Structure 1
């Protein structure tokens, strides 16, 4: 079966469906240069700290090994589709390994519910191939434009962490190219597997993975939406009802103050069963057609996103949401990845870019969460992309971000006056509460706080020193935080 032209859905019980594709993927990385200059400018999705590096794009594991063995004193780092918000996939003055050339889906085992694929395959591509067969990726973040290697390197989480954990929980094995040029097969429970999942590419280059999938009957979601009038109501509903849903997330108005502090729109859902579809939609229940809107201009006026404009948007967004609506059918793309419909949506923040700030604090630290939200509201941070979720059990990865508790993520224009010192103060409060910052989105954390936030960091550093004593794998993030 060719994944580029799927015909009738294959029997999901048929084992080992072979799939082979080198189909080009949409590369959304922020890279700029010319053909005569081997160094190009690279930035994260937030566009805040561009640096230059030599970008190399292998198409086989052998080519990747040859590149790693010869990329010089400044070392290198693997990069996928460029959706890390900060500097995790940058390497100033060194090399960057563009992994999107390794993008083959090798086999789909319909009996075991697994897929074997290269690390450069995007979640978007997996959905294109797997949904017609009745399978969905086990964990999806807010964008499909993430490679499998990136998903493992950041140990991504989604709206279902409280029920399903992070991406690495669903990986049976992975192939890792290490600093000495060898390829090792890693399985869950080994030190190197746990250091690699969430290790931000610093243990080696992930070449391929075997991933367990989630069975679905349709490509639609059954969604319940309701308003929460304040933070207390929101946390109470998440605490008491989240176990009833596979997916759960709340948009939160971070400009609301007083009695309305933390007012939110809570959205929770499940994959819709075939019986929930109207009869006219049952002949193509697994149809996957993500739409796209026009891209915003290359640059928008500086200061367009301010407290007034975002405040108006937040008021509109909260008021338009239903007080309570159940079992609404929504396309997967609308529920999971609404911003993917807008190419280069990161341009809306203007030339200064934006900082995405995401932290987690544990259960029992609700007052710390409230204090941080109050500080953000008082500061008037103009964030209209702010979400709060409830995490479940911690993941095994030594540098994996999730821990049982509450995570808040918000986008803030990087040009906001005094932003750096303000976020430093929030970092201190997060650390004092026993929480941590998400490395895949960080671009400015002070290194002295990292040991407090990640207790397995000494083990990670020791393993790296043993496995890669010459520092073959390095990045702007690793140098900044002394990883």
Structure 2
């Protein structure tokens, strides 16, 4: 097992901290890393795609799980896979897609570990029908503060505290997942433009019973009657007979999207208000007014940003803050007010995504709840950003909504309880399981978890 001292940040590149990094290659070495933690505790870390500080531990220890990346078994009949927590969703797709299976839920990047997907209880475009990631976990192995490995099953308090628990109940070592069957590695996609937020919301609601995957990319710089204009995409896994003849020879081939001239890195700070407005305008005009039946690679439909290495650099050296919130259907006016406020402020956001959520999961700190969710990123150095987002927090909490902790880097602890009604249960179980505070992170200290 390698051990070194490193500086690390979340994907948003804010608040860099230094920690002692352990990189175990066996479960036994992971237990040694947990027992060898210092007084500042320890937290597991995967591929570093949490936007905020959930996988950082300033002055403490971090267990880098990426060397624990074995796929232990795949049942190609039932679509069940057992794998280490350090396996990336990318590698999982490489193995299971040629067998006719796909992930039941995938976030907007495939560069996430299975352990990270469970610890954040990630969601995707199909939340209405599939829920979030933990719904499809049949069992997991958890390394506790005492070095004990416990098998944790759905329906137990420990499972509900771990799903979305951001690594604070222990180190996830492995998981048993149930996949979904697919006939091809292509998506059948419908695209349409919406002239404003009303239209975007109406169309997302109207198509809720259609294609399982749906989202709208919102232009947060548009104003007036165009406020909240959007490009909607809906998709479903393409059947074999939808493929052209040449593609039917290898219908399940997994070929990740690669841009022909993608740079090894992106220059710093490409996005200002003017460039963001121009990019949004070009994207909206380039989208078809209405198109159906377009075939796209799975990677192009789900993970288009993965084709741009280090895309997080475009916000500048100060990094960016990712903000995602959800509110229920009866609080749709809160969504309207927030979109209008961002539009009036001319906030330089180029990747704002609106989706519908279905029934929430059982995880006590899991983010999704029925209703609407909007996600966007803003430069961390934007003048007045802290005051703006604090105000959004207040609006979201007053509407019985919540912000996503896995993407958070600056939420105040005083609004947390209003957003997460099962927070008390989480804290009580955490204290019972880990009275010495073995598992900690920068986020857990900031929010007193």
Range into which the TM-score falls when normalised by the shorter chain: over 0.9
Q: What residue is the counterpart of 1:353 in the other structure?
A: 319
Matched, 1:330 2:330: no
Matched, 1:143 2:101: no
Q: Is the 8 A contact 2:128 2:357 kept in 1?
A: yes
Matched, 1:268 2:234: yes
How far apart, in 1, do the equivalents of 2:320 and 2:406 lie? 14
Per-residue deviation, 1:291: 3.5
- Aligned counterparts, 1:123-162, within 5 A: 123-162=89-128
> Could you list the per-position Cα deviations for residues 348-396 of structure 1 after superposition, in whole angstroms to 9, with x for gaps in the alignment?
1111111111000111111110000000111111000110000000111
- Aligned counterparts, 1:204-219, within 5 A: 204-219=170-185
SS at match of 2:306: helix
Q: Is the 8 A contact 2:4 2:22 kept in 1?
A: no
> Could you list the per-position Cα deviations for residues 46-92 of structure 1 after superposition, in whole angstroms to 9, with x for gaps in the alignment?
00111000000001111111111121211100000000000000000
SS at match of 2:411: coil
How far apart, in 2, do the equivalents of 1:163 and 1:129 lie? 25
Per-residue deviation, 1:38: 3.6
How far apart, in 1, do the equivalents of 2:44 and 2:267 lie? 28
How far apart, in 2, do the equivalents of 1:313 and 1:149 lie? 35
Q: What residue is the counterpart of 1:25 in the other structure?
A: none
How far apart, in 1, do the equivalents of 2:407 and 2:258 lie? 25
TM-score by length of 2: 0.98
Where do 5+ consecutive residues of structure 1 fail to align? 1-34
SS at match of 2:249: coil
How far apart, in 2, do the equivalents of 1:295 and 1:115 lie? 35
Q: What residue is the counterpart of 2:356 in the other structure?
A: 390
Matched, 1:429 2:414: no
> Could you list the per-position Cα deviations for residues 150-202 of structure 1 after superposition, in whole angstroms to 9, with x for gaps in the alignment?
00000000000011000000010000011111111111110000000000000
Q: Is the 8 A contact 1:227 1:265 kept in 2?
A: yes
Per-residue deviation, 1:114: 0.6
Matched, 1:256 2:222: yes
Matched positions, count: 446
How far apart, in 2, do the equivalents of 1:351 and 1:306 lie? 13
Per-residue deviation, 1:299: 4.4
SS at match of 2:426: helix
Per-residue deviation, 1:298: 5.9
How far apart, in 2, do the equivalents of 1:96 and 1:251 lie? 35
RMSD of aligned Cα (Å): 1.2
SS at match of 2:326: strand
Q: What residue is the counterpart of 1:295 in the other structure?
A: 263
In structure 2, relative to structure 1, the CA distance for the partners of 1:209 and 1:159 (3 Å cut) is same
Matched, 1:182 2:148: yes
How far apart, in 1, do the equivalents of 2:19 and 2:38 lie? 12
Per-residue deviation, 1:297: 4.2
Q: What residue is the counterpart of 2:285 in the other structure?
A: 319
Q: What residue is the counterpart of 1:83 in the other structure?
A: 49
Q: Is the 8 A contact 1:77 1:97 kept in 2?
A: yes
In structure 2, relative to structure 1, the CA distance for the partners of 1:230 and 1:171 (3 Å cut) is same
How far apart, in 1, do the equivalents of 2:93 and 2:128 lie? 22
TM-score by length of 1: 0.91
Question: Which of 170, 173, 179 is the matching residue for 2:136?
Answer: 170
Per-residue deviation, 1:111: 2.1
Question: Which of 193, 196, 200 is the matching residue for 1:230?
Answer: 196
Q: Is the 8 A contact 2:266 2:309 kept in 1?
A: no
- Higher mean C-alpha displacement, 235-244 vs 196-205: 235-244
